[in-house]
Amino acid sequence: MATGGLVHLGGMPDRPPTHLGGEQGYLQAGIVAAAASLVALRESRASGVGRHVDVSLQDAIVFTNENNVGLLDLMGHLRARLGDRAFTGFSLFFPCRDGWLAFWPGGRFDGLLGWLEEMGVDTEPFRAGEWTSPAFRERHIPELTAAIRQAAEGKAKTAAADAAQARRLAAAPVADVADLQRDPQLIARSFWVDVEHELPDGARVMVRYPGAPFKLSRTPWQIRRPAPVPGEHDGEGWRKRSPIRRAGRTGRLPLEGIRVVDLTWQIAGPAATQVLADHGAEVLKIESAVHPDGLRVMALPRPPWTDSLNQSGIFTLMNTSKRSVAINMATDRGPALLRRLIALSDVIVDNYGVDPLPKWGLTPDELLKIRPDLIIARSSVMGRSGPRSHYVGFGYTIGPAAGLNALSGFAGDPPVASCTAHPDYSCNSYHLLIAILAALHHRDNTGEGQVIDLSQHESTVVFNGAAILDYSVNGTIAGPSENRHPDAAPHGVYRCRGNDRWVAIACETNDDWRRLAEAIGRPDLAADPALGDLEGRRCAAARIDAAIEAWSRLRTPAEAADALQAVGVPAGAVQTAADLFRDPHLAARGKFVRIDHPELGWVRGERSELPSVRTEQRHRSPSPLARRRHRASDTRPART
């Protein structure tokens, strides 16, 4: 997570950078490997030729950096840690009577004023004419932050969030693992799964697990048994496999022939459909000229010389290889045209907060009448059923609601995570992708379409699984990790030479520790019997940290990491976006690619993390252009 750039963004500005709580690095690599395997499986079934998938954990983490890479590429801005703020400068977390409220008002200023009044705050100062201007509000974020802080103070976090959601404001209580098991939405959707375990003494107990990250209507995801004990299935053999139909197709991208109607916007949906497009699917992005995708309008990075709808860096990177058509769904002709497109397509996917499809006459039942083998992928904040199915939000509020932020940072600080909308770039986009690929696989075998209902909240809770099991079994409510790890010591980030420069070190074994102590010139520590085991080193963490920093402060992050890696100690430089661009390993793997954009010129894009040896995904075209421009120059600037 350090070499992939995410640790550099995490934590408070006046503290050491922090990693995102839980095993997020491994989990990200796991969903990338799952999606890559499904893409490779589809190609292998068509061609009869096996595939080798090579997943780099570092590559997988780079994608989760939000706008970190684009800010440097398009604006020359090196992003720093923002602590409890979003990259716009708006505070995200506000103290309540019983914890913290995650809150993001977005552009709903009238709704914000209504909520403030309901919470007992005088809103008269905010009703002057200049406050109607978004630009004015952006210059006066501290005043708005103070009002929200006043509104949340003394309130129950869940009640404050529910009142905000009633006004379509993105808000959520910052949950811990105990809060999650009481969550009425998760209970109503039968999310939790009780799994029977046999203890070493033969007793049997029920353990509560997080359930499916998505719901498939015909092939539901389910836990069929607990994790096996060593050797549990010795001698059983494999089940007989069903015959595989081979198409004998070679030399094509694995998803060629699949057509996708893409109703997604912002991040969590477009990130999934981009991978489909880059691997050969024909993805048609349905847009509105009246209400453009928010990424086209307000998202950074964006070059300082323009406010064109076509020059948003994140939109550009999330929509390569797609085509676009603008449809006015408020007319009679709009829904009719969309129906014609659906009838010619294999997949329809959306990530709407408020579900508009029923008013267009496009319920799942109606869609399956148009095309019985259609795959209907629905991604929403809380899922399409349950008492909180109306909730709105995105990664900045979904992560806290799912318990990720409660595991990150330092005790006593406001909740912090990676200072990015992490679930949008991680579990929620990739679980959606995996669900679509799995449904296509099922359709290949049976000819059946189906409906996917992905709750972004549930999808993210799954990535909190280890802490949930610890609570289920031991009653432990995990708190901020403070860069420690129960199975490694020393474990943390250590200051290096330079301003805000750090190296990450994680010693999981006694041999790791001895090699580290020798490498930093402290053989006396290696010989100290009190530090000979994990528990002893955890108790002496402050003493060990001081010894490591006395050594690391004299070196750059790369020098420190290279010296430790040379003797077999797990270590990595805490890399900035500039470091990622210079990283020779990322360069050798072709991580960053050049995209020739009609207005932006050459843009540095990312190669998908779904590589295979024989089949190369590629950006077949830049993101599609909007016809309407604001004040963009017709001549694109020369960029190097």
- Choosing from 176, 179, 424, 583, the catalytic residue is 424
Q: How far is CA 207 from CA 204, 457, 471, 474, 498, in A?
A: 10, 21, 10, 10, 48
Mean pLDDT score of the chain: 90
Quick one: three-class SS letters along 102-153?
EEECCCCHHHHHHHHHHCCCCCHHHCCHHHHCHHHHHHCHHHHHHHHHHHHC
Structural contact between residues 301 and 75, judged by C-beta atoms closer than 8 angstroms: yes
For residues 481 and 251, which has the higher predicted lDDT (pLDDT)?
481
Per-residue pLDDT band at 242 (split at 50, 70, 90):
low
DSSP-assigned states of every residue in 476-531:
------TT-BTTBSSEEEEE-SSTT-EEEEE--SHHHHHHHHHHTT-HHHHH-GGG
Is 424 catalytic? The answer is yes
The answer on pLDDT for 634 being more than 60 is no
The predicted structure's pLDDT at residue 615: 45
The predicted structure's pLDDT at residue 250: 59
The predicted structure's pLDDT at residue 413: 87
- List domains and CATH numbers for the chain: 1-81+174-222+253-479 (3.40.50.10540), 93-173 (3.30.1540)
DSSP-derived letter for residue 612 is B
Q: How many other CB atoms are found less than 10 A from the CB of residue 142? A: 11
What gap in Å lies between CA 7 and CA 580, rounded to an integer? 13
Secondary structure of residue 452 in the 3-state scheme? strand
For residues 359 and 300, which has the higher predicted lDDT (pLDDT)?
359
The predicted structure's pLDDT at residue 639: 38
> Phi, psi at residue 366, to the nearest 5°?
-65, -40
Residue range 528-556: mean pLDDT, rounded: 97
In percent, the amount of the chain with pLDDT more than 70 equals 93
Residue range 23-35: mean pLDDT, rounded: 94
pLDDT in tens, 435-470: 999 999 999 999 999 999 999 999 999 999 999 999
What gap in Å lies between CA 110 and CA 241, rounded to an integer? 59
The predicted structure's pLDDT at residue 465: 92
Per-residue pLDDT band at 238 (split at 50, 70, 90):
confident
DSSP-derived letter for residue 362 is -
Packing angle of the helix pair 557-566, 510-519 (nearest 10 deg): 120
Buried b (16+ CB within 10 A) or exposed e, 159-193: ebbbbbbebebbbbbbbbbebbbebebbeebebbe
Residue range 25-40: mean pLDDT, rounded: 94
Structural contact between residues 139 and 88, judged by C-beta atoms closer than 8 angstroms: no
Per-residue pLDDT band at 601 (split at 50, 70, 90):
confident
The predicted structure's pLDDT at residue 61: 95
Per-residue pLDDT band at 339 (split at 50, 70, 90):
very high
Buried b (16+ CB within 10 A) or exposed e, 270-298: bbbbbbbbbbbbbbbbbbeeeebbbbbbe
